Amino acid sequence: MFGFLFQKKLLSKDEVEQLIDEAERIWDGERAQPGYKVDERGSHRSKFFIESNPSLHWLVEDDRIYGTAAQIIGSDLLFTGSEGVVSGYGQAPWHPDRRTLWPGILGYGCVKAMIYLDETTADRGALRVIPGSHRNPMHEGLYQMLRWAPEGDDMHSMGETENPAEMPYGLSGDQMPAFIAESEPGDVLFFNQWLFHAAYNAWPGRRYVAAKFAQPPKNETHLKFHHMYNWVIFDQHKAFAEHKSERIRKMARQVE
């Protein structure tokens, strides 16, 4: 309905402490690798964060995460990737993760579960969402907030001008009406990836782990969508494709 579900205290204190320890151990290991680099915004982004670390696999098959995602988009969902991020930026401007590049694609079910490992508040890096912005007319109505990259690159970015008069609605990004998901470790925010979201007042070192899921593609447009955004469903990580858990094998079944 609103495009997101914020589950407070979904993970217990012990579970989240363990998750933080594991994540820190993994990030430390990566920092020690030759050639370790942060991205252009100073973020440490781990690829295949959950898939390549067996100690984190429970996250995607746990009833509280898989089950919630399955209630939102259906139990035949596919795994579409994970992230382990130590963000380096102060703000993530408004954007939807997915855009209507082809007619009929809006509404294709894709959901991201975000677990922030630090306490976040409105004044300190909490994710904000615009309820209902996963649907039209609001979804495309908000595209005027995106500043399109010149050469048709898909990267989204909102004007980060300090001057509200130059902003599409005369409001600076942090003043846009929104639900602010102030999070404590253990809370999980599920959001529809068509939903507009942003983070303001963040700080270098803010950490999150995310898992993504989508409905199985049913037509050519859905397949194009996966080609465009990420190839995970066509090339699932071996650790998941061959997992001992039937639930994980099923969500990582290969799609042609």
Ligand X SMILES: O=C(O)CCC(=O)C(=O)O
Q: What are the residues binding Fe ion (CB under 5 A)? A: 97
In the complex, least distance from residue 168 CB atom to Fe ion, rounded to whole angstroms: 19
Nearer to ligand X, 97 or 249 (CB): 97
Residues 192, 196, 200: CA angle, nearest 5 degrees: 120
| Nearest Cα to Cα of residue 83 among 185, 223, 201, 232 | 232
Of residues 92 and 243, the one with the C-beta less far from ligand X: 92
Shortest distance, CB of residue 36 to Fe ion, whole angstroms?
Answer: 24
CB atoms within 10 A of CB 220: 9
Determine the Cα–Cα distance for residues 133 and 141; give it in Å rounded to an integer.
Answer: 9
- The distance of closest approach from Cβ of residue 95 to Fe ion in the complex, given in angstroms and rounded to an integer, is 6
Query: Please, what is the minimum distance in Å from the beta carbon of residue 7 to ligand X?
Result: 17
Nearest approach, Cβ of residue 127 and Fe ion (Å): 9
Q: Contacts with ligand X in 166-225 (CB under 6 A)?
A: 197, 199, 210
Closer Cβ to Fe ion, 128 or 237, answer by number = 128
What is the rounded CA–CA span in Å between residue 188 and residue 69? Answer: 11
Asked if residue 244 lies in contact with residue 252, where contact means CB atoms within 8 angstroms, the answer is no
CA 16 – CA 90 distance, rounded (Å) = 24
Give the one entry of ligand X, Fe ion, none that residue 158 binds, where binding means its C-beta sits below a cut-off of 5 to 8 angstroms depending on kind.
none
Give yes or no for residue 92 binding ligand X (CB under 6 A): yes
Residues 93-152 that bind ligand X (CB under 6 A): 97, 127
Pairing label, strands 127-129, 179-181: antiparallel
Question: Which parts of this chain interact with ligand X (CB under 6 A)?
Answer: 87, 92, 97, 127, 197, 199, 210
